[in-house]
């Protein structure tokens, strides 16, 4: 029997310390914070001693409030990581997720037409074909790693088809995204965080530059071509803006669906009653998708930066302070969900896995939901007796909330 998780005194809690994230998010710590200190100050980031601390926003209501007030809580001075040491601000600001209005709205609108629910629905046959093709590779096998053998190749090819990258390059782009987003994990980037800027970002730029040159000469209807030929206020995007727009979409496409699908499958395999309900009634799969998104959002947090002194739920926040909106906490807020730590395939909840509203609500929501539905449908139809075959292992990261291995027996 495993020991109860140790929750430090709240005033001393260093929320992002790696020791809290070795087996996924520290849900007991977040439960304590929601109840006693919903907007909590972490005084330092141990891995980055030169960095200032940050505020943790842990309740659904407060995350919603921060998300919708871009004038007070800016995305343009750091929108993801709580450290500024990994990627220069200039590159962060080249992605529309790292912008504030009005430029954010104009650039994001370029992509909206490719991500409307109607346009995404048109891709269901091809996404299903991709998924079935990947599952076909498991023919004759008794075991696999659901992360590496199913989820990763499916999501890499789906986002690759949108962006216009070649199928033979899927593994390369997946490697680059995993190494960059999982920079602190010893398996995903064993050479350490410093290699992101020294090795990975230059490789991303070099590969993207080749794609940019190809699209300039021969425009296509993929999203890379849209970036290359787009104009904002009469001017084309600069090359680093094209590269970072590409990076944003490929990174999100590789990580988000993979993360939620694998954790959702684990939850089903760990609770036979829930698995039996879904197998008996596949119409529950859309609800299962929403519950998986609620309990296992792909990204543990996103960041904002205060533009002015303000007050949030009793906390006195100063201009320049960093704020983490913890989706892994807000999605388990007991004021919103009954028995929030229980995976219930009939719940069909609203949640904040795609953000909590406002301008930065996830562009790829419809695509993620479609991919997840198809992945659950096809995997469970093909392998209804699928079962765990060893210990799943989480990525050691307070940012990407995902399993890096999920060993399974395909036939029970």
Burial of 44 (0-12, 13-18, 19+ CB in 10 A): middle
The residue ranges of DSSP E strands in 10-140, in sequence order, are: 39-42, 54-57, 73-74
pLDDT score at 376? 98
Mean pLDDT score of the chain: 88
50-108 per-position pLDDT tens digit: 788 999 999 999 999 999 998 999 888 765 567 665 556 566 655 656 666 677 777 77
- 10-409 architecture in CATH? Orthogonal Bundle (1.10)
The conformational region for residue 141 under phi > 0 = left, psi -120 to 50 = alpha, else beta, is beta
How confident is residue 149, by pLDDT bands cut at 50, 70 and 90? very high
207-231 per-position pLDDT tens digit: 999 999 999 999 998 888 888 887 7
For the cut 50, the answer to whether the pLDDT of residue 2 exceeds it is no
For the cut 60, the answer to whether the pLDDT of residue 410 exceeds it is yes
Query: CA-based angle 397:399:404, to the nearest 5?
Result: 50
Q: Please give the C-alpha separations between residue 272 and each of 142, 289, 386, in angstroms, as whole numbers.
A: 20, 17, 11
Residues, the chain: 412
Instruction: Say if residues 268 and 410 touch (Cβ distance below 8 Å).
Output: no
pTM of the predicted model as reported, rounded to 2 decimal places:
0.92
Structure tokens at 5: 């998780």
Could you tell me whether strands 310-312 and 231-232 are parallel, antiparallel, or unpaired per DSSP bridges?
A: unpaired
Count of CB atoms within 10 A of residue 235's CB? 8
Distance CA 77, CA 306 (A): 9
pLDDT score at 79? 54
236-263 per-position pLDDT tens digit: 888 888 888 888 888 888 888 999 999 9
Work out whether the CA dihedral 10, 11, 14, 16 comes out positive or negative. positive
pLDDT score at 359? 63
């Amino acid at each position: 029997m495993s020991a109860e998780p140790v929750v430090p005194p709240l005033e001393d809690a260093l929320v992002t310390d790696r020791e809290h994230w070795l087996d996924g998010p520290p849900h007991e710590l977040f439960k304590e914070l929601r109840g006693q200190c919903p907007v909590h100050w972490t005084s330092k980031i141990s891995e980055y001693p030169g960095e200032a601390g940050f505020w943790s926003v842990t309740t659904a209501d407060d995350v919603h409030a921060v998300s919708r007030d871009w004038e007070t809580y800016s995305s343009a001075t750091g929108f993801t990581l709580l450290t500024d040491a990994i990627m220069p601000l200039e590159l962060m600001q080249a992605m529309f997720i790292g912008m504030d209005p009005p430029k954010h709205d104009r650039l994001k609108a370029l992509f909206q037409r490719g991500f409307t629910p109607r346009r995404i629905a048109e891709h269901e046959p091809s996404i299903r074909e991709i998924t079935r093709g990947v599952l076909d590779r498991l023919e004759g096998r008794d075991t696999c790693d659901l992360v590496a053998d199913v989820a990763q190749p499916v999501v890499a090819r789906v986002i690759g088809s949108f962006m216009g990258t070649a199928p033979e390059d899927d593994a390369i782009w997946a490697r680059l995204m995993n190494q960059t987003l999982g920079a602190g994990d010893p398996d995903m980037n064993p050479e350490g965080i410093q290699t992101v800027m020294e090795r990975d970002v230059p490789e991303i730029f070099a590969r993207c530059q080749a794609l940019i040159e190809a699209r300039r000469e021969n425009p296509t209807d993929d999203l890379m071509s849209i970036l290359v030929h787009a104009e904002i206020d009469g001017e084309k995007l600069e090359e680093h803006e094209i590269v970072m727009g590409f990076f944003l979409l490929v990174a999100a496409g590789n990580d988000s669906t993979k993360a939620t699908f694998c954790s959702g499958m684990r939850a089903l395999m760990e609770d036979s009653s829930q698995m039996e309900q879904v197998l008996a009634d596949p119409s529950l799969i859309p609800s299962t998708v929403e519950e998986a998104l609620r309990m296992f959002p792909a990204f543990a947090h996103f960041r904002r930066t205060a533009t002015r002194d303000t007050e949030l739920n009793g906390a006195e926040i100063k201009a320049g302070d960093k704020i983490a909106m913890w989706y892994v906490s807000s999605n388990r807020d007991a004021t919103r969900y009954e028995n929030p730590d229980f995976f219930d395939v009939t719940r069909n909840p609203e949640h904040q896995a795609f953000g909590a509203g406002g301008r930065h609500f996830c562009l790829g929501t419809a695509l993620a939901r479609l991919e997840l539905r198809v992945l659950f449908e096809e995997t469970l139809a093909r392998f209804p007796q699928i079962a765990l075959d060893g210990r799943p292992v989480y990525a050691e990261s307070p940012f990407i909330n995902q399993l890096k291995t999920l060993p399974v027996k395909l036939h029970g």
